[in-house]
């Protein structure tokens, strides 16, 4: 039908690698959501009567837990809301501004959503692949910056973020991977009301399938966001699991530390094989590769049932279980080793 033509011309689907046995393409947590929390949630906490009602979203008890977790005295309930994943928060935020700005390489959904919504957007590449370029932004613009960045995982300096804030643009700082970097610019909310911090339960809390994200910002941004988003946007069960995750933070903390150590081990090994990698602080590593080597690696990984995320100039590999990470190291290490031997003969 003609009526769909303009959407089909501008929008493109969010494509992901096909799901495989060992899937390291979407930065999911390698550990299952803890069984003991599920047992508690479904045996002790779940109120059947809450399933048939339009359950509050957000539920006050989840907001309280998030505030405790943030531990910032200058914030209260009016500063926090939730979304159907961080993605919903990003999507809805785009509807509230005149222009969307982002800096590739960056989270691919910024472009996918901007195109789907038909909003005006500006994409300007990061300088040297890592620095926010000097850009003419102003009030009415919303600038999306993941920190740590996705796909490289590197951190931006607070000076780079403040430069954007001082220009009057609204900055949506996407801290989806915060728990793996331990670096947050939450404190900037003290000084700027044109800033929102977006977080998620998908990564550090093993809840990607439950779709829970949250946003922390000025009371007026949160009020506006709550008016534009869908009512009852996050389900009762999703909110319950998110709250219980925060109440059992120690379980996740141990896992987060393991993932961070494993990431550093992967980086060290990949560097020692001679690969160029970014200084990732997320739950993933990025390996820069030329097209030939990349294709060989993708094929060898695929032969072993492993999917990683394919980019123009490299691959992003989520930190998996030890056994999965070992396969990655064996394949990438083995390839450089055999190339070296070939070079010698
Ligand atoms: N922001 C970034 C930077 C991400 O990488 C992702 C997930 N890949 C998201 C947001 C989306 O998170 P959620 O699952 O909460 O929608």
How confident is the model over 25-46, as pLDDT tens digits?
A: 999 999 999 999 999 999 999 9
User: Domain locations in the chain?
Assistant: 16-30+250-344, 35-247
Listed in order, strand segments (DSSP E) in 218-301 are 276-277, 284-288
Whole-number Å distance, alpha carbon 206 to ligand 1 midpoint, is 13
Per DSSP, 4 falls in state: G
Pocket test for ligand 1, best of 26, 83, 87, 92 (most atoms within 8 A of CB): 87
Is any ligand 1 atom within 6 A of the Cβ of residue 146?
Answer: yes
Average pLDDT over all residues of the chain? 96
Cα gap 198→342, rounded to integer Å: 48
Cα gap 173→130, rounded to integer Å: 16
Q: Is the pLDDT of residue 114 over 70?
A: yes
CATH code reported for the domain at 35-247: 3.40.640.10
Q: In this structure, are residues 138 and 95 in contact, taking their beta carbons and an 8 Å threshold? A: no
Under the banding of pLDDT at 50, 70 and 90, the label for residue 17 is: very high
Is any ligand 1 atom within 6 A of the Cβ of residue 314?
Answer: no
Q: Is the pLDDT of residue 99 over 70?
A: yes
Is any ligand 1 atom within 6 A of the Cβ of residue 27?
Answer: yes
Nearest Cα residue to 106 out of 69, 55, 56, 143: 143
Amino acid 1: pLDDT: 74
Q: Is the pLDDT of residue 72 over 90?
A: no
Is any ligand 1 atom within 6 A of the Cβ of residue 29?
Answer: no
Amino acid 141: pLDDT: 98
What is the average pLDDT across 107-112? 98
Whole-number Å distance, alpha carbon 86 to ligand 1 midpoint, is 6
What is the average pLDDT across 69-94? 96
Amino acid 138: pLDDT: 97
Q: How many CB atoms lie within 10 A of CB 236?
A: 19
CATH number for 16-30+250-344 (one of 3.40.30.10, 3.30.1300.10, 3.30.70.270, 3.90.1150.10): it is 3.90.1150.10
pTM, two decimal places = 0.96
Q: Is the pLDDT of residue 345 over 50?
A: no
Under the banding of pLDDT at 50, 70 and 90, the label for residue 344 is: low
Q: Is the pLDDT of residue 116 over 90?
A: yes
What is the average pLDDT across 64-82? 96
Amino acid 342: pLDDT: 79
What is the average pLDDT across 42-65? 96
What share of the chain in percent tops pLDDT 90?
A: 95
């Amino acid at each position: 039908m003609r009526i769909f033509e303009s959407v089909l011309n501008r929008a493109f689907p969010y494509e992901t690698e096909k799901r495989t046995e060992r899937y390291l393409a979407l930065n999911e947590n390698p550990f299952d959501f803890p069984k003991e929390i599920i047992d508690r949630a479904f045996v002790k906490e779940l109120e059947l009567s809450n399933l048939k009602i339009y359950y509050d979203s957000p539920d006050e008890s989840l907001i309280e837990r998030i505030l405790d977790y943030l531990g910032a005295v200058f914030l209260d309930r009016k500063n926090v809301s939730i979304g159907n994943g961080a993605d919903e928060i990003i999507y809805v935020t785009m509807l509230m501004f005149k222009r969307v700005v982002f800096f590739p390489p960056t989270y691919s959904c910024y472009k996918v959503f901007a195109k789907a919504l038909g909003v005006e957007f500006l994409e300007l590449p990061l300088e040297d692949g890592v620095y926010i370029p000097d850009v003419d932004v102003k009030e009415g613009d919303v600038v999306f910056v993941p920190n740590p960045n996705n796909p490289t995982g590197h951190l931006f300096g607070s000076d780079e973020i403040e430069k954007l804030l001082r220009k009057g643009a609204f900055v949506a700082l996407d801290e989806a991977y915060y728990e793996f970097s331990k670096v947050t610019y939450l404190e900037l909310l003290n000084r700027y009301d044109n800033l929102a911090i977006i977080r998620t339960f998908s990564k550090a809390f093993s809840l990607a399938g439950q779709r829970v994200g949250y946003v922390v910002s000025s009371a007026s941004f949160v009020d506006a966001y709550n008016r534009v988003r869908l009512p009852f946007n996050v389900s009762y069960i999703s909110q319950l699991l998110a709250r219980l995750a925060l109440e059992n933070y120690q379980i996740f903390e141990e896992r987060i530390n393991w993932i961070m150590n494993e990431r550093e081990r992967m980086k060290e090994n990949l560097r020692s094989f001679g690969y160029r990698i970014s200084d990732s602080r997320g739950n993933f590593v990025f390996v820069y590769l030329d097209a030939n080597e990349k294709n060989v690696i993708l094929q060898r990984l695929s032969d072993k049932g492993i999917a990683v995320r394919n980019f123009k100039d490299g691959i992003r590999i989520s930190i998996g279980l030890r056994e999965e990470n070992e396969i990655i190291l064996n394949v990438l290490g083995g390839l450089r080793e055999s190339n070296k031997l070939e070079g010698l003969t």
